């Protein structure tokens, strides 16, 4: 039987659980997670390799996790929504994911229209069913409401966090994919360069350790990434927008920066399988989120030639 493959876009509002689903399906942490909206700022590619079984062909599902759909109010926000559209454009299937603990509103309606207009088949995933516990009766009205819309090919309740019903979801995704090539070699699960993943791991610490406006005003740029024989030397700049934010990020006597650095270093060491020497700096760049030029600079896909060049040196 023919090999099946294709691109599958994960679409949803901020905080619905898109990145958690990506990580759960791929089986590795490729995308950072936090309860704060706008954690994911780029589309993130993750590959699920499915071997051929008795009467089933092998398959490759190329998942694209995307930033949450929202009304953009900055250059950064517009860039994020651009990432969503690009991911949708090349996809054979859309997984629209909603949080079942939230009552559907206008933003969900907008999302449904967006999915419908794409002309691509859409599965609706009702996520976080683990939170309903004994309240599973809440699920039925939601399923009824959504199944009235002529948009969804499947409606599947899941828990991305507890990995519930993902075994049901996977074969349905494969069925929806056309025959196609093996786009990625079997050992490859993402296209993200390690240095970008390191920057994201550092940003995740900022999301976890700081509050109010600080997480949204921060971006991380890896300025040096050098794999030496015994360790990897990484220097990264944490950009924020105001001196007050810088003071918070550094903390009293540098405690905050040290705490974030230690936690990030341990995770990067696990990811790379080497020891890591991590240097963090905090820099202020007023209103960087409004700067189209700076926001474009942050996109690692724009630096691919440079990155490949650096690796070959």
- Using the contact rule CB under 5 A, the part of the chain among 34-42, 56-64, 182-190, 227-235 near Mg ion is 34-42
Q: Using the rule CB under 6 A, which residue among 91, 127, 219, 267 binds ligand GDP? A: 127
**Min. distance of Cβ 18 from Mg ion in angstroms?**
5
Contact 260, 268 (CB under 8 A): no
How many angstroms separate the CA atoms of 1 and 279, rounded?
A: 51
Q: Using the rule CB under 6 A, which residue among 6, 11, 20, 64 binds ligand GDP? A: 20
CA angle in degrees (0–180, nearest 5) for 145-146-149: 105
Q: In this complex, which beta carbon is closest to ligand GDP, that of residue 136 or of residue 258? A: 136
Q: In this complex, which beta carbon is closest to ligand GDP, that of residue 204 or of residue 241? A: 204
**Min. distance of Cβ 239 from Mg ion in angstroms?**
20
- 247-266 residues near Mg ion, rule: CB under 5 A: none
Q: Give, rounded to a whole angstrom, the gap between the first and last alpha carbons of the chain.
A: 43
If we measure between CA atoms, which residue out of 101, 24, 116 comes closest to residue 63?
24
Q: Which two tokens stand for residue 158?
A: 């899941």
Q: Using the rule CB under 6 A, which residue among 33, 93, 238, 248 binds ligand GDP? A: 33
If we measure between CA atoms, which residue out of 253, 254, 230 comes closest to residue 238?
254
How many angstroms separate the CA atoms of 64 and 166, rounded?
A: 17
- Reduce the DSSP state of residue 166 to 3 states and report it: helix
Q: Does 40 bind Mg ion (CB under 5 A)?
A: yes
Q: Does 19 bind Mg ion (CB under 5 A)?
A: yes
Q: In this complex, which beta carbon is closest to ligand GDP, that of residue 46 or of residue 68? A: 68
**217 backbone dihedrals φ, ψ, rounded to 5°:** -90, 0
Q: Which one of Mg ion, ligand GDP, none interacts with residue 16, CB within 5 to 8 A by kind?
A: ligand GDP
Q: Which two tokens stand for residue 82?
A: 């651009």
Q: Does 159 bind ligand GDP (CB under 6 A)?
A: yes
Contact 192, 30 (CB under 8 A): yes
Q: Does 201 bind ligand GDP (CB under 6 A)?
A: no
DSSP, residue by residue, 77-114: HHHHHHHHHHHHHT-SEEEEEEETTS---HHHHHHHHH
Q: Which one of Mg ion, ligand GDP, none interacts with residue 219, CB within 5 to 8 A by kind?
A: none
- Using the contact rule CB under 6 A, the part of the chain among 126-134, 185-193, 233-241, 279-287 near ligand GDP is 126-134
How many angstroms separate the CA atoms of 180 and 237, rounded?
A: 41
How many angstroms separate the CA atoms of 106 and 131, rounded?
A: 23
**Min. distance of Cβ 229 from ligand GDP in angstroms?**
36
Q: Which one of ligand GDP, Mg ion, none interacts with residue 289, CB within 5 to 8 A by kind?
A: none
- 128-147 residues near ligand GDP, rule: CB under 6 A: 128, 130-131
Q: Residue 141 CB: number of other CB atoms within 10 A? A: 9
Q: Using the rule CB under 6 A, which residue among 94, 160, 260, 278 binds ligand GDP? A: 160
The residue ranges that bind Mg ion (CB under 5 A) are 18-19, 39-40
The residue ranges that bind ligand GDP (CB under 6 A) are 12, 14-20, 33-35, 39-40, 68, 127-128, 130-131, 159-161
């Amino acid at each position: 039987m023919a090999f099946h493959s294709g691109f599958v876009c994960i679409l949803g509002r901020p905080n619905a659980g898109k990145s958690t689903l990506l990580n759960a399906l791929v089986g590795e942490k490729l995308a950072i997670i936090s309860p704060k909206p706008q954690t994911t700022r780029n589309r993130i590619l993750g590959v699920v390799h499915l071997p051929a079984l008795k009467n089933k062909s092998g398959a490759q599902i190329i998942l694209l996790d995307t930033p949450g759909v929202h009304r953009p109010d900055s250059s950064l926000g517009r860039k994020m929504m651009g990432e969503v559209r690009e991911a949708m454009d090349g996809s054979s299937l859309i997984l629209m994911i909603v949080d079942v603990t939230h009552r559907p509103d206008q933003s969900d309606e907008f999302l449904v229209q967006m999915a419908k207009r794409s002309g691509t088949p859409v599965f609706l995933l009702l996520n976080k069913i683990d939170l309903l516990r004994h309240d599973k009766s809440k699920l039925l009205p939601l399923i009824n409401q959504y199944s009235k819309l002529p948009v969804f090919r499947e409606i599947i309740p899941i828990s991305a966090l507890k990995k519930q019903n993902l075994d049901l979801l996977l074969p349905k995704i494969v069925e929806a994919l056309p025959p196609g090539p093996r786009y990625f070699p079997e050992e490859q699960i993402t296209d993200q360069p390690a240095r970008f993943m390191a920057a994201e791991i550092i940003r995740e610490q900022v999301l976890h350790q700081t509050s109010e406006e600080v997480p949204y005003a921060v971006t991380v740029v890896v300025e040096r990434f050098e794999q030496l024989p015994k360790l990897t030397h990484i220097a990264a700049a944490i950009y924020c927008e105001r001196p007050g934010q810088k003071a918070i990020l550094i903390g009293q006597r540098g405690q905050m920066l040290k705490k974030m650095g230690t936690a990030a270093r341990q995770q990067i060491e696990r990811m790379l399988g080497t020891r890591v020497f991590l240097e963090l700096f905090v820099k202020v760049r007023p209103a960087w989120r409004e700067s189209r030029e700076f926001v474009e600079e942050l996109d690692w896909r724009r630096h691919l030639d440079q990155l490949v060049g650096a690796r070959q040196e």
